[in-house]
Amino acid sequence: MPMLLEARTASGALAYIDRAPKLDAVVTDLAMPQMDGIELLKKVRAHPQRHTLPVIALTGFYEDYAGAEGFEAFLRKPVDLDLLCSAITALVERRTT
pLDDT one-digit tens code per residue, 70-91: 898 888 889 999 999 999 999 8
- Nearest CA-CA partner of 54 in 32, 80, 75, 82: 75
Domains of the chain with CATH codes: 10-96 (3.40.50.2300)
Tens digit of each residue's pLDDT (9 = 90 or more) over 25-67: 999 998 888 898 899 999 999 988 888 889 999 988 766 666 6
Sheet holding 55-59, edge to edge: 26-29, 55-59, 73-76
